[in-house]
């Protein structure tokens, strides 16, 4: 069976795309270069802001994403992954315009939780305001009987501040400050009853790690990377 070529529709933001590529490499069982997957990456940071579009305050990213997706197809990609959670709010529109399959991050994360943490019924969501407002991730989790807790309005502002800080000014010096801000929100979600936390924005795992939490942290990019490896025809590394 021929290995499938992975297309990464990225740039939202560039560092999240780099992290996704890194996670695919690190989760692939390979003894040499030739045993790794072939990937084609379009890192396009010019895509209009997804949250602004969802909230009706900016232009739709769909035309730009469709053009990039079909460019990946023409370059040889067999399927696409999108390391941007907010962009998945437009998944149905993208599937209509892009001529190769798109692997759903929502499906990958939900299935990972059910398979590896079947006792979790209540999950906390750290995501952009756009992702939360669209409700698409929440609906997908509910299909598998997982109830989502989202931050209060005040806490959601802190999450968005942290996300844009990561995108613009992430340094060693301010990494801890951003982490502290996010951990305060996490603790409030735990108080609500969250049994696990979804890093539902691809910037969040760049500062927040499992060692920082007392409950499971579900890194959406790590999970998407492993799903891409499987879809391409390889078996990812065993979970530790």
- The CATH classification of domain 6-104+222-232, taken from the options 1.10.760.10, 3.90.1310.10, 3.40.50.1860, 3.30.1360.200: 3.40.50.1860
User: Do 106-220 and 6-104+222-232 fall under one CATH topology?
Assistant: yes
Q: What is the distance between the alpha carbons of residues 94 and 73, in angstroms, rounded to a whole number?
A: 13
SS3 72: helix
3-state secondary structure at position 118: coil
CATH class of 106-220: alpha beta
Q: Show me where the domains of the chain are located.
A: 6-104+222-232, 106-220
Active site residue 201: yes
**Do 4 and 78 meet the contact criterion of CB atoms below 8 Å apart?**
yes
Strand partners, 80: 7, 102
Q: Which pair of structure tokens corresponds to residue 107? A: 């499906």
Note if 84 is an active site residue. yes
Do 40 and 66 touch, CB atoms closer than 8 A? Answer: no
One of 47, 66, 84, 225 is an active-site residue; which one?
A: 84
pTM of the complete model beyond 0.75: yes
Along the 240 residues of the chain, how does pLDDT read in single tens digits? 789 999 999 999 898 999 999 999 999 999 999 999 999 999 999 999 999 999 999 999 999 999 999 999 999 999 999 999 999 999 999 999 999 999 999 999 999 999 999 999 999 999 999 999 999 999 999 999 999 999 999 999 999 999 988 888 777 778 889 999 999 999 999 999 999 999 999 889 989 999 999 999 999 999 999 999 999 999 999 997
Q: Which of 108, 146, 194, 201 is catalytic?
A: 201
The residue assigned the tokens 């690190």 is 26
Decide: 19 and 83 in contact? Cβ < 8 Å. yes
In angstroms, the CA 221 to CA 109 distance is: 9
């Amino acid at each position: 069976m021929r290995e499938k070529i992975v297309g990464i529709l990225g740039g939202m933001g560039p560092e999240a795309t780099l992290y996704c590529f890194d996670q695919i490499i690190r989760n692939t069982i390979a003894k040499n270069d030739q045993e790794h997957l072939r990937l084609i990456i379009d890192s396009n940071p010019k895509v209009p802001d997804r949250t602004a579009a969802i909230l009706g305050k900016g232009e739709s990213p769909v035309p730009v994403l469709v053009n990039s997706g079909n460019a990946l197809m023409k370059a040889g990609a067999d399927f696409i992954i999108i390391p941007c959670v907010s962009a998945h709010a437009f998944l149905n529109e993208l599937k209509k315009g892009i001529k190769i399959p798109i692997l759903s991050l929502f499906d990958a994360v939900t299935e990972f939780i059910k398979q590896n943490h079947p006792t979790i019924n209540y999950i906390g969501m750290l995501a952009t305001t756009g992702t939360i407002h669209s409700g698409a991730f929440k609906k997908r989790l509910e299909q598998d009987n997982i109830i989502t807790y989202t931050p209060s309005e005040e806490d959601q502002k802190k999450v968005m501040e942290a996300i844009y800080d990561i995108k613009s000014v992430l340094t060693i010096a301010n990494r801890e400050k951003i982490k502290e801000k996010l951990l305060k929100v996490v603790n409030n979600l735990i108080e609500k009853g969250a049994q696990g936390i979804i890093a539902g924005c691809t910037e969040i795992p760049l500062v927040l790690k499992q060692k920082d939490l007392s409950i499971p942290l579900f890194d959406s990019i790590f999970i998407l990377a492993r799903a891409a490896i499987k879809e391409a025809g390889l078996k990812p590394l065993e979970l530790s």
